[in-house]
Structure 1
Amino acid sequence: MLSQSEPLLLRDKIVLVTGALGGIGSEVALAYARQGATIILLDKNITQLEKLYDVILQESGIEPAIFPVDFKGAKAEDYQQLAQTIKETFGQLDGLVHCAADVGQLAPTANQEIKQWSETLQVNLTATFLLTHACLPLMQATKQQSFIIFTTDRQHDKAYRGAYGLSKAAIECFCHQLALETKAAAKIRVNCIDPGQVKTKLHARVFPAADPQHLPEPSAVIPAFLYLASEQSGHLHGQCLNAQQDLPVKVLA
């Protein structure tokens, strides 16, 4: 953890966090706010977003913004309007952290329910693309280098992972593609984090038989998200890293 005497890593940054009500998403949002960022919270439950808003304001003294979005139903024009609203309200977007995820149906391919399959891909992959696509022009226009962080699950190729596993594999591919496309301009850092196994509701659904007693809390992987958002990680681009192995806590010490 950074001492109080050290400068804030994300002072005056505007950062959009999707899946802000998830175990990791909410911790990312709070940690970034504590480091000086104004957080734009994206999730679908307005009541819970308002509660998180209060916590962030109390903890950081920085007022976040709330945008309720249901990734299952939102269309391309909704994300374009969101990006335009961010531009008009803040004039910039310095970071985009994709934490939203839907496990969907964990079942054999032959037993997959088609509607749920499509909805899972919509939340995990298509919505991620549409939001990124809408925000790119604004992020490319920032004075300092901006950042995009995707969240993956490297155990995506296991049996019964269904659309969840395929979407995570595709997210890693998207990360690499976007990193190559943005390398020359050097205006955006693009990386991917696998949090590993942590005590979240999502993990409990993917590993229903696992004992969560000895799993780390979501806060344990936040130093990795802070590191990839900070200028300390300026040399990393197009990487897919494990938060508990490749990015140890000591990087922020």
Structure 2
Amino acid sequence: MLEYQATENLLKNKTILVTGAGDGIGRAASLAFAAHGATVILLGKTVKKLEAVYDEIEQAGGPQPAIIPLDLKGATEQNYIDMAETIEQQFGHLDGLLHNASLLGVLGPFEHISMSSVEEVMKVNVIAEIMLTKALLPVLKKAPLASLVFTSSGVGRQGRAFWGEYAMSKFATEGMMQSIAHEFQDSNLRTNSINPGATRTSMRANAYPAENPQTLKTPAEIMPTYLYLMGDDSKDINGQQLNAQ
């Protein structure tokens, strides 16, 4: 599926929510989904960035997107419940949810881990994903075929020195994905994870400041796997750990 060729109308009439939609991979996914016919709900904390993506989608002739400004660090369970009710009222159901937003945290020796940093990383990378998924499951279940996609990492599948905070959060993400996939294995909802790999994003630059970003793939170049999982061609793929590179 790394060479997957999505048809022009792959996502026509589908509604897909993307977290962290204002920048990096979330932005690229939002643009790609819209280009293939989806109505994209752009969720993120920076309204200006979301509005820029909104304008790009409209200028490219895609379906009119929606914007949900939300800071995952401070959001409560009630915020997600209210959001789910609004999405159901406005769209009837949700065909796809891409959990893309993540915090890197602090890289360093395990013995120097800051508990405040760990709590922040877990709040965004794990707790927020739990609350958002829980709230949106009833709306996803109303879709003919729904796709739930979690963003993982190489260090979420094999831990690595100095990556403790981020690695632990991504191992939790993989566990969440597998649990939901097993629970809904005989339903209209499929659940999988994507490891985007080394990609030209600000998070990658923060983790590897000495790296030449020109040697990395752009977010747009890794979209085939994302499109594959959101489209109906992947309807029988469930509980899988996929790589975008």
| TM-score range normalised by the length of the shorter chain | over 0.9
Quick one: which amino acid aligns to residue 55 of structure 2?
D
Partner Cα distance (1:41, 1:55) in 2: 12
Instruction: Report what 1:207 is aligned to.
Output: 208
Separation (CA, whole Å) in 2 of partners of 1:196 and 1:210: 14
SS in 2 for 1:155: helix
| 1:10–1:230 contact (8 Å) kept in structure 2 | yes
Q: How does 1:232-243 map to 2 (within 5 A)?
A: 232-243=233-244
How is 1:182-197 mapped onto 2 (pairs within 5 angstroms)?
182-184=184-186, 186-197=187-198
Please give the TM-score of this superposition, normalised by the length of structure 2.
0.94
Cα deviation for residue 21 of structure 1 reads 1.6
Q: 1:48 and 1:106 mapped to 2: Cα distance?
A: 26
Alignment of 1:1-253 (within 5 A): 6-142=7-143, 144-156=144-156, 157-184=159-186, 186-244=187-245
Structure 2 distance, partners of 1:181, 1:26, is 30
Contact 1:101 1:124 in 2 (8 A): yes
CA distance in 2, matches of 1:134, 1:125: 14
Q: Structure 1 length normalisation: TM-score?
A: 0.91
Would the aligned equivalents of 1:14 and 1:39 in 2 still touch at CA under 8 Å?
yes
Is the 8 Å Cα contact of residues 109 and 162 (structure 1) preserved in structure 2?
yes
Instruction: Could you tell me which runs of 5 or more consecutive residues in structure 1 were left unpaired when the two chains were aligned.
Output: 245-253
Aligned Cα root-mean-square deviation (Å): 1.4
Counterpart amino acid of 2:155? Q
Aligned partner of 2:59: which letter? Q
**Segments of 4+ in structure 1 off by > 3 A?**
none
